Structure 1
Amino acid sequence: MLWQGGQVRNTLHIVSAVAQWILLLACLIYLGMDFLRPSTIQSDKVQWTHIRYTGRSTRGVAMNLTAEGGPMQIRNGSIMIPCDGLYLVSLKSLIYLEEEDWLKLTLQGTQKTNSNALWEQIVQVNDSTVNLTTVLYLFREDSITLWTDSNASIWDMSFSVVLITDSLSASCRSWP
């Protein structure tokens, strides 16, 4: 009888220990779920826009850009800057000249009272590929537009603007 009582007691200890380990493992998994999930960027907090364009440009007229994605607004073909900060600007395109041997492609910033060229590139007949990657400091309520000084055909343009500093600062406008 003593032997059977000791065996029952040992079995109860083993079952209790296994149950405790299972409960401990379940608690660790429950508490660690946030760490196990892959991190994702919430696009409503990051200010960005991506534009794809194929079409014609007209001498002295801003290109009529429309957004393919992103929360930044585009108004009358201009990208509206929602926050003060550093922006990564990337533009890649093929340009085919129609009338002249070269054209000037200009990324222009427009502030409330004045406009200035943020970036310019001369495109020649024998070099129709445009690649731009730069960081610009832009101000809230400014806008940026893309201009050409000659008629041309624009193919497969990919144009992105991404805020790379803290978009949750006080200088950042919340878009509806």
Structure 2
Amino acid sequence: MDRQPDLEPKGQEDLKREPAEDEWKSWQRGQLRRNTLYLVSAAAQWILLLACLIYLGIGSLQLSTPRSDKVPWTYIQYTGKSVEGTAMNLSAETGSIRIRNGSIMITCDGLYLVSLKGVISFSELEKNNSLKLILGKKDNKTSETLWERTLQDDGKTVDLITMLYLFAQDDIALWTNRNATVKGLSFSLVLLSPIFYCLQ
């Protein structure tokens, strides 16, 4: 019978090499896990970004195909009395935005250009009192101010151009906080940029 050669005992280098190899393999497994997490995280971020771009793309397509070829606008002229806290009885001269019970009916979410010019008189008030001209949302129960101008002088000419973000289904009205006389008020409202929601 041939004798099997005796196995030589492992040297110190082999003993040192094994923990180093185990440590190296463990580090590689950890690195693989980290790389996998980074990959999954990056993929999730790209999917989220793509979803956002698709959402914005659909929104812009809806904007580029308007339901009406008209830009919502109105032009109003008013001369008459303003009763404290009561909406002025406005009526449209021209334009596509409807007016009901003195309130302008907003049909599109978006940024509107507001132009307002006229003379407001309140001579029956004491000299130290001022008057506020208010543009806001108003219904039978509540009112919310969107813009206001304080007038200190009697017979003051109001001349204003501003921009307001308005929402569909809001009713916009104009009123004063004291009794006054309004002369030659011209008021126009034009939609500059529709956002996402328009009523037909």
| 1:115, distance to aligned residue in structure 2 (A) | 3.2
Instruction: Name the structure with the higher helix share.
Output: 2
Deviations along 1:110-169, whole A, 9 cap, x unmatched? Answer: 489953211111112256011121111110001111111111111110100000014xx7
Partner of 2:131: 103
C-alpha distance 112-95 of structure 1, shift in aligned 2 (>3 A) = closer
Go from structure 1 to structure 2 and tell me whether the alpha carbon gap of 1:48 and 1:126 turns closer, same or farther (over 3 Å shift). same
CA contact (8 A) 1:112 1:142 kept: no
Residue aligning to 2:118: 93
Question: Distance between the aligned counterparts of 2:69 and 2:154, measured in 1?
Answer: 42
**Structure 1 residue ranges without an equivalent (≥5):** 1-42
Deviation by residue 1:66-123 (Cα, 9 ceiling, x = unmatched): 0000010101100000000000011011111132142111101248995321111111
Mapped pair 1:137 → 2:162: no
What amino acid maps onto 2:108 in structure 1? C
Q: Which residue of 1 aligns with 2:39?
A: none
CA contact (8 A) 2:112 2:163 kept: yes
Q: Aligned match of 2:73 in 25, 32, 48?
A: 48
Identity %: 53
Distance in 2 (alpha carbons) for counterparts of 1:86 and 1:155: 28
1:12-161 equivalent positions in 2, closer than 5 A: 45-100=70-125, 101=127, 102-110=130-138, 115-126=143-154, 128-161=156-189
Instruction: For residue 61 of structure 1, give the secondary structure of its aligned residue in structure 2.
Output: coil
Does the CA contact (< 8 Å) of 1:98 and 1:151 recur in 2?
A: no
8 A contact 1:111–1:141 mirrored in 2: no
Instruction: Provide closer, same or farther for how the CA distance between residues 111 and 154 of structure 1 changes in structure 2, counting only shifts above 3 A.
Output: closer
Q: Which has the larger radius of gyration?
A: 2
Instruction: Return the letter of the residue paired with 1:105.
Output: L
Cα distance in 1 for residues equivalent to 2:101 and 2:140: 15
How many residues align structurally? 130
Output the TM-score relative to the length of structure 2.
Answer: 0.60
- The 8 Å contact of residues 121 and 155 in structure 2, kept in 1 or not, is answered as no
Question: 1:84·1:138 contact (CA, 8 Å) conserved in 2?
Answer: yes
CA-based RMSD of the aligned residues comes to 2.2
Q: Hey, what does 1:15 align to over in structure 2?
A: none
In the alignment, what sits opposite 2:197?
A: 171
